[in-house]
Amino acid sequence: MPTLTRRRCAFAASLLLWAGAFAQPLPTPSPAPPEPGLTLEALPRPATPPPERGTVVPAQVERWRQEAQAFEFGEGVERDAVKAAQSYCRAARYGDAQAQYSLAWMLTNARGIERDEAQAAHLFAAAAEQGLTQAVAMAQRLGTPRGDPPPCLRPPDEDPPLLAQDKPAPPRVLLPPGGGRPAPFPGGLLLPPPPPPAGAPPQIVRFVELVAPQYQLQPHVVLALIKQESNFDPLAVSPKNAQGLMQLIPDTARRFNVRNVMDPAQNLRGGMAYLRWLLATFEGDLTLALAAYNAGEGAVERYRGVPPYAETRLYVRRIIAAINGQRSHPFDPQVAPPSELITLLKARLRALN
């Protein structure tokens, strides 16, 4: 056999051997262990922040929101979804609508924290009720919130207790004319009513002082409310169509038989009738009655206290400060039955005592 032919045969044989080796069945590899990873159920659930100490001002609330945004997006700090959620929660409790929306978005999309659409529905609703446009569509998509509001929307623990009775002013003494032994000031009286608000027209002050007692209302409380509502402008109209001195919306005007809401006398009488009804409903608790006047009694019932709206919280605080810290008011139980919230609060007080 020629040399070239022998070489070709040897080469062909080697190819066959090589191909046969690869034709053998390969061993079945053992399955690789699953890689560790986070499931939606395994995402952390931030704890509710502890109560704040001291008075919380709007600037502090804004700082919490900005801090939360930094942690959420890693702006100048390392990303930390849990810290972001806790800071959003702090701001949300004090009525920051953007913080309420942002926390709800994190909960809806499981952005580093556990998904909780039930809680998100409450947060979107609160932000939408404050007029935050982007929250309205989300609130509609998630539907009516179910159950009690989450901790991030409940009144802060450091808020003054509801149903608290006003404490008497510290005892004072009267110095008799011409000297002599001081005599004690009569009784443990509250601080005297404040004078009419600055800029209050005398004719409105006289009307309120004359008519408010007919509605079992203290004139200084009514005047402080008018100051906050309209600053004594009888032609004031709000973006929500609240009108006149006491800013009555059309439904409230009809409810209390106000035919011409822009007539100052009718407007004042309708507003005083509404305030009297609220005081009976909340058994004289001015904090709840004022919050309901601003945000509606339904919101006060739903949130178990002052709603988490920045405007309402500031509104209540300003009026209470203007009336020297007074937090209760006489009421007529025949005007309206107590709300379910009052029954709940009384039960809690009994349990504590």
Encode pLDDT of 61-77 as tens digits: 999 999 999 999 999 99
Give the pLDDT of residue 211: 97
What is the percentage of the chain residues whose pLDDT exceeds 70?
80
Q: What is the dihedral of CA 109, 110, 113, 117, to 10 degrees?
A: 70
Of 284, 279, 285, 271, nearest to 228 by C-alpha is: 271
Contact 262, 312 (CB under 8 A): no
- As to burial, measured by CB atoms within 10 angstroms (0-12 exposed, 13-18 middle, 19+ buried), residue 21 is exposed
Q: What is the pLDDT of residue 1?
A: 52
- Yes or no: say if 291 and 306 are a contact pair by the CB < 8 Å rule: yes
* Catalytic one of 67, 72, 129, 229: 229
Q: What is the pLDDT of residue 352?
A: 78
Q: Is the dihedral of CA 86, 91, 94, 100 positive or negative?
A: negative
pLDDT tens string 123-155: 999 999 999 999 999 999 999 999 999 999 998
Dig out the tokens for 244 from the structure. 């006149």
CB atoms within 10 A of CB 79: 13
Q: Using only C-alpha atoms, what is the Rg of the chain? A: 34
Q: Which runs of consecutive H residues, i.e. helices, occur in the chain?
A: 3-23, 58-73, 81-93, 97-109, 117-129, 133-142, 202-211, 219-230, 250-255, 264-281, 286-295, 297-303, 310-322, 340-352
Residues whose CB is less than 8 angstroms from the CB of residue 329 and which lie 6 or more positions away in sequence, other chains included: 217, 218, 221, 279, 284, 286, 289
Residue 229: active-site member? yes
State how far the Cα of 279 lies from the Cα of 290, in Å rounded to an integer.
9
Q: What is the pLDDT of residue 38?
A: 43
Residue from 103, 77, 80 nearest 90 by CA: 103
Ordered structural domains, the chain, with CATH: 57-153 (1.25.40.10), 190-352 (1.10.530.10)
Packed helices 219-230 and 202-211: angle between N→C axes, nearest 10 degrees: 130
Looking at residue 164, what is its pLDDT? 61
- With a cut of 70, which residues of the chain have pLDDT below it? 1-45, 164-190
Please report, as a single letter, which amino acid is at residue 128.
A
Distance from C-alpha of 276 to C-alpha of 233, rounded to nearest angstrom? 22
Each residue of 241-280: pLDDT tens digit?
A: 999 999 999 999 999 999 999 999 999 999 999 999 999 9
